[in-house]
């Protein structure tokens, strides 16, 4: 009779031990509920004990969780309708408060939908489109860059902020509401900004006009540089040509002077021979191919031809 009793006791102890012992790993945190009411939380990983059959373990993620909002169509301060798609990172900071307020991760995501959608809508509608799409470190390249007019008030570009500052404001405002639910909001970011068709067309037109303006500026600068290079080249060519022409004239003048000197020397030495050479040169120039020369026999021009016969 003792053996069956001992066996029953062993089975009972094992059954109670299996329901009373539980393990919390490094990626989890847990709370203990008794008859549905939370009585404590377990933050340290490892093996723990609870009252069998009476207490229950509810586990939550210790790791960072993701929230993705549904894309919303929101008007900006300058009346531009855009689609905003946001995402956030959060974690359960106080599991006991988390359980009593939202109970589950699904409930937490629903509460984050309400908080973040409202904060993002207020932030986007209170800012210009240009502030949502540019960085905080943006600097205008042109000092006369376009100014923005909102409800009749001109807003200079130096007074505009960037997307990073807007997102920091959204995070601060949304983070102020999440501790009430045991949630710590870590980060909020705009995942995508998509323009509605009408705005997209205007944005593309503006981008095209800006690129055309830049291209025209580059083209104008290139044409000016080309004109400078061509002008310098023409000046250099004229300088080279005039210098070469001067040297030609100098060489030709020297040659003519030397030839004249030779002719003069030949004339002074033998006037008849000089006259003979000059007459032969005249014959050469006067009588061309298929040409005829008609002169009288008593002409001085015919004298040397007559003597050669």
Choose among 179, 178, 167: nearest CA to 111.
Answer: 178
The fraction of the chain above a pLDDT of 70, given in percent, is: 75
Domains parsed from the chain with CATH numbers: 2-60 (no CATH), 65-139+150-195 (3.30.479.30), 273-309 (no CATH)
Choose among 72, 80, 184, 168: nearest CA to 117.
Answer: 72
How confident is the model at residue 2, as a pLDDT? 61
How confident is the model at residue 133, as a pLDDT? 80
By mean pLDDT, which of 43-57, 113-127, 241-255 is the weakest? 43-57
**Confidence label for 35 from pLDDT (cuts 50, 70 and 90):** confident
Spatial distance between the Cα atoms of 156 and 213, rounded to a whole number of angstroms: 21
Choose among 23, 21, 43: nearest CA to 31.
Answer: 43
Q: Tell me if 61 sits within 8 A of 105, measured CB to CB.
A: yes
Spatial distance between the Cα atoms of 142 and 7, rounded to a whole number of angstroms: 90
Tokens 């923005």 identify what position? 148
Average pLDDT over residues 12-34: 77
Q: Tell me if 11 sits within 8 A of 41, measured CB to CB.
A: no
How confident is the model at residue 143, as a pLDDT? 47
Q: Tell me if 83 sits within 8 A of 184, measured CB to CB.
A: no
pLDDT above 70 (res 149): no
Tokens 């505009």 identify what position? 160
Could you give phi then psi for residue 76, rounded to 5 degrees? Answer: -85, 180
Alpha-carbon distances of 68 from 54, 63, 118, rounded to whole Å: 38, 17, 14
The model carries a pTM of: 0.59
pLDDT above 80 (res 225): yes
Which residues lie closer than 8 Å to 133 by C-beta, 6 or more apart? 163, 193
Average pLDDT, the chain: 81
The model's pLDDT over 156-173, given as tens digits with 9 standing for 90+, comes to 666 678 888 999 999 999
**Confidence label for 14 from pLDDT (cuts 50, 70 and 90):** low
By mean pLDDT, which of 22-26, 206-210, 225-229, 291-295 is the weakest? 291-295
Average pLDDT over residues 182-211: 83
Q: 176 is written with which tokens? A: 């102020």
The model's pLDDT over 40-71, given as tens digits with 9 standing for 90+, comes to 888 888 888 888 878 888 899 999 999 998 88
Q: Tell me if 166 sits within 8 A of 127, measured CB to CB.
A: yes
Q: Tell me if 90 sits within 8 A of 116, measured CB to CB.
A: no
How confident is the model at residue 134, as a pLDDT? 77
Spatial distance between the Cα atoms of 136 and 253, rounded to a whole number of angstroms: 77
Three-state DSSP class for 82? strand
Q: 145 is written with which tokens? A: 């860059």
Bridge partner residues of 65 (DSSP): 90
pLDDT above 80 (res 146): no
What DSSP designation does 239 have?
A: H
pLDDT above 80 (res 300): no
pLDDT above 90 (res 199): no
Average pLDDT over residues 294-298: 69
Spatial distance between the Cα atoms of 283 and 268, rounded to a whole number of angstroms: 23
Spatial distance between the Cα atoms of 146 and 132, rounded to a whole number of angstroms: 17
């Amino acid at each position: 009779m003792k053996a069956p009793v001992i066996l029953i006791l062993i089975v009972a102890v094992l059954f109670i031990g299996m329901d009373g012992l539980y393990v919390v790993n490094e990626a989890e945190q847990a709370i203990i509920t008794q008859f549905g009411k939370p009585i404590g939380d377990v933050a340290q990983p490892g093996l723990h004990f609870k009252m069998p059959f009476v207490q229950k373990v509810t586990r939550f993620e210790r790791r960072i969780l993701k929230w993705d909002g549904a894309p919303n169509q929101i008007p900006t301060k300058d009346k531009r309708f855009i689609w905003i798609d946001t995402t956030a990172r959060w974690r359960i900071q106080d599991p006991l408060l988390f359980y009593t307020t939202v109970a589950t991760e699904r409930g937490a995501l629903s509460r984050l939908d309400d908080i973040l959608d409202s904060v993002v809508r207020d932030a986007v509608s209170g800012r210009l489109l240009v502030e949502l799409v540019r960085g905080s470190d943006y600097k205008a390249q042109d000092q006369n860059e376009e100014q923005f007019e909102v409800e009749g008030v001109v807003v200079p570009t130096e007074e505009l902020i960037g997307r990073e500052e807007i997102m920091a404001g959204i995070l601060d405002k949304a983070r102020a509401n999440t501790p009430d639910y045991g949630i710590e909001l870590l980060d909020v970011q705009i995942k995508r900004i998509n323009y509605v068709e009408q705005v997209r067309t205007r944005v593309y037109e503006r981008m095209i006009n800006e690129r055309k303006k830049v291209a025209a500026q580059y083209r104008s600068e290139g044409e000016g540089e080309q004109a400078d290079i061509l002008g310098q080249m023409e000046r250099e060519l004229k300088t080279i040509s005039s210098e070469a022409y001067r040297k030609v004239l100098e060489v030709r003048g020297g040659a003519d002077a030397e030839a004249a000197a030779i002719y003069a020397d030949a004339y002074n030495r033998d006037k008849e021979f000089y006259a003979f050479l000059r007459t032969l040169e005249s014959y050469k120039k006067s009588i061309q191919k298929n040409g005829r020369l008609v002169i009288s026999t008593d002409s001085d021009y015919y004298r040397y031809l007559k003597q050669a016969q």
